[in-house]
Amino acid sequence: MSALPRTPAAAADVSPLFDLGQGLIDRSIFSDETLYRQELRRVFAPSWLFLAHESQFNKPGDFFTTYMGEDPVIVTMGRDRRIRAFLNACRHRGMRVCRADAGATKAFTCSYHGWSYDTSGKLINVPNRDGYPDGFDQDKWGLTEVAQLDTYKGLIFATWNPEAPPLRQALGDMTWYMDAMLDRDPDGTEVVGGVHKWVLEGNWKLAAEQFASDWYHVNISHASALMVMSPSGKGPKAEIVQTPGRQYTDPNGHGAGFPTHPKSRFDDRVVHHYYDYEKLRERLGDTRVEGPMTTGHATVFPNFSYLPVNGSIRVWHPKGPDRMEVWAWTLVDKSMPDEVKNAQRLYNLRTFGPTGIFEQDDGENWSECQATAHGFMAGSMALNYQMGLGSETEDGTHPGTTGHLYSDGAARGFYARWRDLMNTPAWHEKDHEKDTP
């Protein structure tokens, strides 16, 4: 028996909390503890979640520990060089069997009672084995492995859901936008500089929605940063501030926004001079080089986001309804010379690192939004997501449905997907329904 049957917790119907046709959302989705517990089992458990990058695993035994929702997991390369992911919990008493962030090992040994597992998840050592009954089958007590694991151009995703559609299908048209960052180099990408982690007082959805859809805040929240970074020191010109652009909305909840003004690209100077944009046009096409490769933002539902301009990829790990933990990497093209990779790393840290000039603005906004969410009056008011209502269309240039850059379209799409998952029994609940007379 791998798991005991259990009765699923009662689920709330979240439909009354949304009127997306009118662009209205009840604020309780950011603060209600019951809804948070429900989203762990109905949004995070069934979805494809980002774990790590392939470049973090170079030889058998390499491992990296992370989270899927609030479940701790180990990602590791086995002796067969296959990458696997397991629940980081000993099958004996549930303690984490690996408490290091990353490293290399031949086995994961629980420091409580000494049960030990190899890198394929098999239980290989049980102290005082003779004390267990004859029916104890050691082969049935290995680490719990994720149901599915797959990669997309170096990015490793996994899901607990054995019924989830394949990763490529779940990403849909979003891959066209992702490739503007992931497919610049025929040799692929790699991460440099380790993982930066910090905690913010705010619901994880605030960050995920912003990266999916929100260019609206840029000229207001980041005014001082834009002034510092402009060549004149007086801020960008009006035509750049009011840049044209598009926002992509995916039926699976993903979203991306990007300006299309040629001077909206504010890459690090060293990185900018490194790129041969004509060759990139040949590889990616004019539309991607002039759009999603610029100063854009994007979220792969539910909680993986990225910024093509500085190679920032990040996960918004939920830590309760009021807190998130941000994990961020710097992604670079493999063929970049070391000095260019380092320039990209430093640029990332200075802009969207834990103390970055843009990241500080965003974190303060999300924390302030959360600070009033538990008040009786403030917590019960509807929030306005009406910008761009009715403007979405298939423009014949960009795959899928897009709208104006200044829009809440992708946020509405994000919450439509969240609402639908919250109202749909997950695979583990369906199994219980089948067994119920």
Alpha helix positions (H), 322-426:
338-352, 359-371, 376-379, 409-422
User: Could you say which of 19, 101, 217, 286 is catalytic?
Assistant: 217
User: Could you say which of 32, 250, 267, 362 is catalytic?
Assistant: 362
Q: What whole-number distance in Å separates Cα of residue 216 and Cα of residue 141?
A: 51
What SS3 string covers 235-251? Answer: CCCHHHHCCCEEEEECC
H/E stretch holding 436 reads none
Q: Is 408 a catalytic residue?
A: no
Q: Is 137 a catalytic residue?
A: no
The answer to whether the beta carbons of residues 60 and 52 sit under 8 Å apart is no
Collapse the DSSP code of 344 into the 3-class scheme (helix H, G, I; strand E, B; otherwise coil) and give the result.
Answer: helix
Q: Is 217 a catalytic residue?
A: yes
Please state at what angle helix 359-371 crosses helix 204-213, rounded to 10 degrees: 130
User: Could you say which of 53, 196, 222, 297 is catalytic?
Assistant: 222
User: Could you say which of 183, 214, 250, 267 is catalytic?
Assistant: 214
Residues contacting 131, CB < 8 A, separation 6+: none
User: Could you say which of 19, 101, 113, 395 is catalytic?
Assistant: 113
Alpha helix positions (H), 258-375:
269-274, 277-284, 286-290, 338-352, 359-371
Best CA proximity match to 324, nearest among 308, 298, 302 = 302
- Cα angle: 412, vertex 322, 316; to 5 degrees: 60
The answer to whether the beta carbons of residues 176 and 188 sit under 8 Å apart is no
Q: What whole-number distance in Å separates Cα of residue 39 and Cα of residue 46?
A: 10
Other C-beta atoms closer than 10 Å to the C-beta of 314 total 23
Best CA proximity match to 242, nearest among 211, 215, 209 = 215
Which residues are catalytic, by number? 113, 214, 217, 222, 362
